[in-house]
């Protein structure tokens, strides 16, 4: 019985490392060249700039969270997936505008939130939510670029 428990623990450790590490993602489409796919949750990846990393991971069986950080850690995108509350509903009174579109085959909803003179972008792609404080156009563009790169991975 102990050997079964030990084997299960080892297999789970290996699986968890493969699910949540920066590993090769889905094959890029002909019009995109993806170079740094990072898995955010069991079902999807984002393409990160080479100097970005995923940190502060956590979660359980039905929810996951973490941060996407620039090398200098001045720009941070928070993400949460699964059974989590809606950032759009929780911040409804601070939302200035929203936009709905598609990225790949997934619906994407973005919003600009202004609270206490601080602007943040919110996004939801499929079931994963993203948020980041943004102060410049470059930060806004980077947020949108990373969020729009989210793709599901094929089930094999």
Residue range 124-133: mean pLDDT, rounded:
94
Q: How confident is the model at residue 34 (pLDDT cuts 50, 70, 90)?
A: very low
Own/partner pairs, 105-111, CB within 8 angstroms, 24+ separation: 105/152, 106/150, 106/151, 106/152, 108/147, 108/148, 110/144, 110/147
Q: How confident is the model at residue 153 (pLDDT cuts 50, 70, 90)?
A: low
The full DSSP string for 31-45 is: T-----EEEEETTEE
Cα-to-chain-centroid distance, residue 33: 19
Q: What is the pLDDT of residue 39?
A: 85
For residue 75, give the nearest of 3, 145, 137, 133 by alpha carbon.
Answer: 133
pLDDT tens sequence across 63-116: 999 999 999 999 999 999 988 889 999 999 999 999 999 887 889 999 999 999
* Domain 2-26+33-152, architecture per CATH: 3-Layer(aba) Sandwich (3.40)
Q: How many Å apart are CA 68 and CA 47, to the nearest integer?
A: 11
What pTM, to 2 d.p., does this model score? 0.74
Average pLDDT, the chain: 79
Q: What is the pLDDT of residue 44?
A: 87
Residue range 22-28: mean pLDDT, rounded:
38
For the chain, what are the domain ranges?
2-26+33-152
Q: How many Å apart are CA 10 and CA 4, to the nearest integer?
A: 10
Work out whether strand 95-103 and strand 106-115 pair parallel, antiparallel, or are unpaired.
antiparallel
Q: How confident is the model at residue 148 (pLDDT cuts 50, 70, 90)?
A: very high
Q: What is the pLDDT of residue 154?
A: 34
Q: Which helix (H) or strand (E) holds 102?
A: strand 95-103
**How many CB atoms are closer than 10 A to CB 124?**
21
Give 128 or 104, the one with higher predicted confidence: 128
């Amino acid at each position: 019985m102990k050997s079964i428990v030990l084997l299960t623990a080892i297999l789970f450790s290996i699986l968890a490392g493969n699910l949540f590490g920066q590993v090769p993602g889905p094959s890029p489409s002909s019009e995109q060249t993806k170079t740094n796919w990072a898995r955010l949750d069991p079902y999807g990846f984002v393409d990160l700039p080479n100097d970005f990393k995923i940190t502060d991971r956590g979660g359980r069986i039905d929810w996951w969270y973490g941060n996407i950080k620039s090398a200098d850690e001045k720009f941070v995108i928070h993400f949460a997936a699964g059974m989590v509350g809606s950032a759009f509903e929780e911040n409804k009174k601070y939302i200035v505008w929203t936009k709905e579109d598609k990225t790949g085959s997934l619906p994407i909803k973005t919003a600009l939130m202004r609270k206490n003179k601080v602007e943040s972008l919110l996004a939801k792609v499929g079931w994963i939510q993203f948020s980041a404080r943004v102060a410049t156009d470059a930060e806004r563009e980077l947020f949108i670029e990373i969020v729009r790169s989210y793709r599901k991975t094929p089930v094999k």
